[in-house]
Chain A
Amino acid sequence: MSAVIDTHAQDHHHGPAKGFTRWLYTTNHKDIGSMYLIFSFAMFLLGGTMAMVIRAELFQPGLQIVEPEFFNQMTTMHGLIMVFGAVMPAFVGLANWMIPMMIGAPDMALPRMNNWSFWLLPAAFLILISTLFMPGGAPNFGWTFYAPLSTTYGPPSTTFFIFAVHIMGVSSIMGAINVIATILNLRAPGMTLMKMPLFVWTWLITAFLLIAVMPVLAGVVTMMLMDINFGTSFFNAAGGGDPVLFQHVFWFFGHPEVYIMILPAFGAVSEIIPAFSRKPLFGYASMVYAVGAIALLSFVVWAHHMFTVGIPLAGELFFMYATMLIAVPTGVKVFNWVATMFRGALSFEAPMLFAVAFVILFTIGGFSGLMLAVAPADFQYHDTYFVVAHFHYVLVPGAIFGIFASAYYWLPKWTGHMYDETLAQTHFWLSFVGMNLAFFPMHFLGLAGMPRRIPDYALQFADFNMVSSIGAFMFGATQLLFLFIVVKCVRGGEKAAAKPWEGAEGLEWTLPSPAPYHTFATPPEIK
C-alpha cells in the first residue's frame, strides 16, 4: 500500500492532466468518482425514458403506443439499467469521492484498478443497449430473467446480455475490492473502526456483500450461456434440468443485491440527519451492528421471492421467519434516525428534505415488505403491482433520494459553490409529489389484482393507472431540473465555505471547498 501513497505524494503539486486523456487515464479518486456519477445519471435518464414509455402505454387500457414484445423489452431494460447502471454506479461514485476524504486517505488504495473498473461500465452498457437494435430485439424476460423464458425461449440477443452482465460483475467486484482495501488499509492514524463515519461503515459491508454475490450472478448467467449455446440443460426440464434452480441461484444473488442498493443510502442519511439536526447520531454502535445484522440475514431470506413456486412447507416457514427477523434491525435504524432528530435544532435544506423523505418513504416500503413477508398473504401479493409499489418505494425514495441527498450535501465540497437552494427545494417537492403519485396507487392496483409486467389491463384498473402515469411523468420531467441545478452549481454560484453546513461533522469538512485535486497527502491526526 505504501508504494501507492508515496507516488501520489510526489505528484501532489501537479494538477489534473488536460483534455480527454485526463479522463481516460485518470487514477484520481475524485475524477473517477465524478465519472461514475455522470455515467449513472446518464443511465438514470435512459432507464427513466424507458419507464416513461411503460407508463405512457399503461396510461389507458388497450394497446396504444407499443406492441407487447417491445413493452417487455422496456420493462426488462428499465430494470437492468436502473439497478446496474444507475443506482449501483452512483453509490460507487459517492464512495470514490467521499471514502478517501472521510477516512483521511490520499486516494483509493488501488487507483489503476479503479480506472479499469469504471471504464468497463460504459463498455458493458454499450453492449446491453445495442441489443435493442438486434434482430429479435433486446432481452424481454424481465430484469429477473427467469429460465426457461430467458434460455430456450429468449431472443438471440440474450448472449450479448450475458456478456454485458459478466462485465458489470467484474467491474463491481473490482470496485468492491478497492473499497475494502482502502478502508482497511488507508485510514488516518487514530481512526479506529468504531470511529469511522457510518457512510464508510455501510460501504465496507456493502463491498463484502458485492464480493459474496456478484460471482453467484456470474455463475447463473454462465449456466444460461451454456444452456443457450452449448447444449446443457441446467434449467431445461426437457433435458432433466430444473427451472426452479435458476430462481434459487438468482435470488441468492438478488436478495443481497437489494441491500447493496440501500445500505450506502443508509450510511449517507446517517451523515446528513445529524448534520441538519445539529446533534450527534443516536446509537452509533447499534447502527453499525444493525447494518451487519441486515447484511448477514440477507443471505438467508432469498426464497421469500419464491413463496409461490411450490417450495416445501418447512422451507416456506423458515424463509417467512427469517424475513420477518430482518425487520428488527431495519426498525432499529429507523428508530435511531428519528431519535437523532428528536430534540435537535432542525433546519431543512435540500439534503435534509431528501433525507427526511427517505426515512418516511423507505419506512413505508419497509411496511409493505413486512406484509409481503407474511407468506400466506404473499400468495395474493406476489407478482402484482403491490410488489412493484413495494420495491419502487425502497428504491426511488430509498436509494435514489439517498443519492440526491448525498449529492446536495457534498456538492459544495465537490464544486466549491453552493447549489441554488430554491431550485433544489423545488426539485425535492416536485419529486416527492410525483413519486408518491406514481407509486402509491400501485399498492391499490396490486391489492385489486393487477399483475405486474403486463402491457394492458382489465378495465377496473384504469383510474389508478392513469394517476400513476401522471405522477411518473411529473417525476421524470423533474429530474431534468436536477441536471440543470448541478450544471449551474458546477459553473458558478455563491462560494462555499470549507464547512458549509453548520452541524456537519467529519474529515471532509476540514478540507477547503472545492477539495483540491490531491487531498490528505499527509494523514490528519484523529483525536
Chain B
Amino acid sequence: MRVHAKRAGALLGASLVSSQAMADWTLNMAPGVTGTSNEIYGLHMTILWICVAIGIVVFGVMFWSIFAHRKSKGSKPAHFHENTVVEILWTIIPFVILVLMCIPATATLMDMYDSEESDIDIKVTGYQWKWKYDYINEEFGYFSNTTTPQDEIYNRVEKNEHYLREVDNPMVVPVDKKIRFLVTANDVIHSWWVPAFGVKKDAIPGFINETWTRIDEPGIYRGQCTELCGRLHGFMPVVVKAVPQDEYDAWVAEQVASAERERELTSKDWTLAELMERGEGVYNTNCAACHQANGEGMPPTFPALKGSRIAIEDMNAHLDVVVNGVSGSPMQAFGEQLSEADLAAVITYERNAWGNDTGEMVTPKEVFDYKNKE
C-alpha cells in the first residue's frame, strides 16, 4: 500500500444537494501526518481490498446463480448438499488470509504501544466539556475551550470554515519529536482523537492512559471528543498546532513567562473596572454555556445569576459555589480550574453585570486566602 496515496476517488458527482461551501464528498480515510497514521491507513487499505476481493468472488457466484439458475428460465435444481473438500477449503483459506493479516497488524500495534523515550510529555485531561493540556516538564498548563459562537450553532449567522472544530488555545507541539500523551479525565469518560495522527485514547477518570505521536509536517490538525460525555459531547473540539522546534521553544518560553505573570496577578492591586473587564471574558468562556451571556440562565436547570440572591447578597456563599461547585449538580468546582485572578474577576463580574450593581468586588488575594483557609 502506497502510504502517501491520495484520498481514493474523493469526489462523487459534484454538488447534488450541496449548498455548504465547505462540504465535500470524502469517501475514504486520509493517510495523515505521522508514521502511525500512515501504517494504520496501510492496514485499512489492505483489509479493505481483501474484503473487496472476497466480496467479488462470493457475490459473483451469487449473482451468477441469481441470473442463470432461475426457475423462470427453466433451471432444474441440482440435488447436491454436501462437499467435504469444498467445505474444508473455505474454512482453511479465510483462516490463512486472516493469519496473514494479523502479522502487520500486530507489528503496528506493538509500535503504537511503545511510548517509551519521549521528548515531551503532555498530560491531557478531559472535562465536561473542554480539554486541559499540562506540559509536565515545563510546568504550565491551560484549558482549551471551543470558540464556536452560539449564533453559528443556532443558525443565526453563517457558519465559519472551522465550525465546531476551533478552540481558544490549541495544543502546541514541535514536529519531528516524540510526544507522549498522558490521558485522563476529571469527571466522565472522554476520548481524545486527532485523526491525522492516528491517535485516539480514552480519557478515563482514575486512569492515566499513555499514547504517543511524532508529527511529520507543521500544520493545524483538528479532531474532537469521541466518547459520549454528556450534553455538549459534540462541542468538545481538539486542535493541535504543530510547529518547527524553534517556534515551539519560543512559545514555551512565552507560556512559562505568562504563567509567572499569572501568579503575579494574585498579588497585584486590582480596580473594579479591571476586574470587570477580565471577568467578562472569563464568564463568556466558562460560564455562559449554562448561565447564558445575559446572566438569565436556562431555569430550572441552570439558574439565572441576574438578580440571584447568591450573586447580590452573601459574598461567602458566592465564593463557595464558584470555588467548590455544587456537588451532584452540573455546577463544577472552578477553584481547581481557574486562577485566583480569574476567579476574582468572574465573581466580581457576576456581582456587577446585568444590573446586579452591588459595587462590590473581591480581589485575587481574598480568593487565595479563601481557598487556603478551607
Contact = CB atoms under 8 A, between A and B. Distances in A.
B271 interface: no
Nearest to B74: A345
Contact of A459 (B75, B159, B199, B225): B159
B354 interface: no
A458 B195 CA distance: 14
Interface in A55-82: 61-64, 68-69, 72
B18 interface: yes
Contacts of A340: 81
A249 to B, nearest CB: 15
B136 interface: no
Interface stretch (B171-179, B184-192, B318-326, B344-352): B184-192
Interface string B104-145: 011011101100000000000000100000000000000000
B207 A281 contact: no
Interface string A423-463: 00000000000000000000010011101111111111111
Nearest to A456: B234
A517 interface: no
B200 interface: yes
Contacts of A141: 228
B69 A342 contact: yes
A313 B228 contact: no
10 contacts: A69-B231, A282-B80, A335-B90, A338-B61, A343-B65, A346-B70, A367-B54, A454-B224, A457-B234, A503-B77
Contacts of A448: 26-27, 29-30
A335 B188 contact: no
A375 B104 CA distance: 11
Interface stretch (A3-11, A83-91, A145-153, A482-490): A145-153
Interface in B187-216: 187-189, 191, 193, 195, 198-202, 204-207, 209-210
Given A63-B153, A344-B78, A463-B25, A451 B225 contact: yes
Contacts of A45: none
Contact of B58 (A72, A280, A310, A363): A363
A325 B106 contact: no
Interface of B: 16-18, 20-30, 36-37, 39-40, 43-44, 47-48, 50-51, 54-55, 58-59, 61-62, 64-66, 69-72, 75-83, 86-87, 90-91, 94-95, 98, 101-102, 105-106, 108-110, 112-113, 128, 152-155, 159, 161-165, 187-189, 191, 193, 195, 198-202, 204-207, 209-210, 222-235
B323 to A, nearest CB: 18
Interface string A331-349: 1101100111111111100
A323 to B, nearest CB: 10
A516 to B, nearest CB: 31
A324 B222 CA distance: 32
B65 A342 contact: yes
Contacts of A463: 16-18, 20, 23-25
Residue of A282, A313, A359, A454 with highest tally of chain B CB at under 10 A: A454
A248 interface: no
Given A62-B152, A327-B94, A346-B69, A380 B61 contact: no
Interface residues of A, number: 95
A390 B52 CA distance: 16
A356 interface: yes
A420 interface: no
A481 to B, nearest CB: 24
A384 B26 CA distance: 15
Given A286-B87, A342-B61, A453-B233, A61 B163 contact: yes
A451 B224 contact: yes
A134 to B, nearest CB: 14
A367 B22 contact: no
Contacts of B36: 376
**For B24, B77, B191, which residue has the most chain A Cβ atoms within 10 angstroms?**
B77
A338 B108 CA distance: 35
A479 B202 CA distance: 38
Contacts of A308: 191, 200-202
A459 B22 contact: yes
Interface in A362-384: 363-364, 367, 370-371, 374-377, 379-380, 382-384
Contact of B233 (A148, A243, A454, A460): A454
Nearest to A360: B59
B209 A310 contact: yes
A453 to B, nearest CB: 5
Contacts of A255: none
A254 to B, nearest CB: 15
A342 B64 CA distance: 8
Given A343-B77, A449-B223, A459-B20, A282 B82 contact: yes
A317 interface: yes
Nearest to A470: B17
Given A61-B159, A376-B43, A384-B226, A345 B65 contact: no
Contacts of A452: 226, 228
Given A374-B47, A447-B28, A463-B18, A344 B65 contact: yes
A344 B75 contact: yes
B227 A383 contact: yes
B188 to A, nearest CB: 4
B13 to A, nearest CB: 11
A242 B48 CA distance: 36
A62 B44 contact: no
Given A63-B154, A237-B204, A463-B24, 11 more contacts: A279-B79, A317-B109, A334-B58, A376-B40, A376-B108, A383-B227, A453-B233, A456-B153, A456-B234, A463-B17, A463-B25
A20 to B, nearest CB: 42
A328 B94 contact: yes
B17 A62 contact: no
A457 B23 CA distance: 11
A359 B66 CA distance: 13
A279 B29 CA distance: 43
A283 interface: yes
